[in-house]
Amino acid sequence: MKSGGNFFQHFPMRAVFSGELSNVLAEPGVGLTILFLWGRDCPNCDIAKAAILMARERFFWPDVRWLHCNVYDDADMATRFSLHGIPVFLFFRGSRSLGRVTSWPGADRFVAAVEQQRSSR
């Protein structure tokens, strides 16, 4: 899944930029939001994308919205969240930040982290 390839065609995520993120997070009717911060030609990002594509159904939840941003194209997003490496997955409920998963922990641990966030209201 080099450089994202067709990842976003096969696993739809809404692209978002730093300047619009606050408004997007404030949109009504959304349960949990996952913001996937990644970069072009990032080996660890490619590993995460490949793992997600191998079992797409595990990463779809009816109350979860996925957003993404290539932080190499939006340095403000990287600065906003004090990134020191990618990929990073940030969890939000509305505009409230719930936490983050830094790097790719593997499918099982990632799904467990999402399930924990989904169950904590």
Tens of pLDDT along the chain (121 residues) come to 444 458 999 998 999 999 999 999 999 988 999 999 999 999 999 999 999 999 999 999 999 999 999 999 999 999 999 999 999 999 999 999 999 999 999 999 999 999 999 998 6
Output the pTM of the full model: 0.93
pLDDT at 48: 97
pLDDT at 115: 96
pLDDT at 43: 95
Which own/partner pairs from 6-10 qualify as long-range (CB within 8 Å, at least 24 positions apart)? 7/49, 7/52, 7/53, 8/68, 10/53, 10/56
- Residue ranges of alpha helices (H) inside 6-94 are 7-10, 18-25, 43-54, 75-80
What is 29-119's CATH number? 3.40.30.10
For the chain, the domains span 29-119
β-strand partners of 35: 67, 90
pLDDT at 117: 95
pLDDT at 2: 47
Q: What contacts 54, CB < 8 A, 6 or more positions away?
A: 107
Q: What contacts 84, CB < 8 A, 6 or more positions away?
A: none
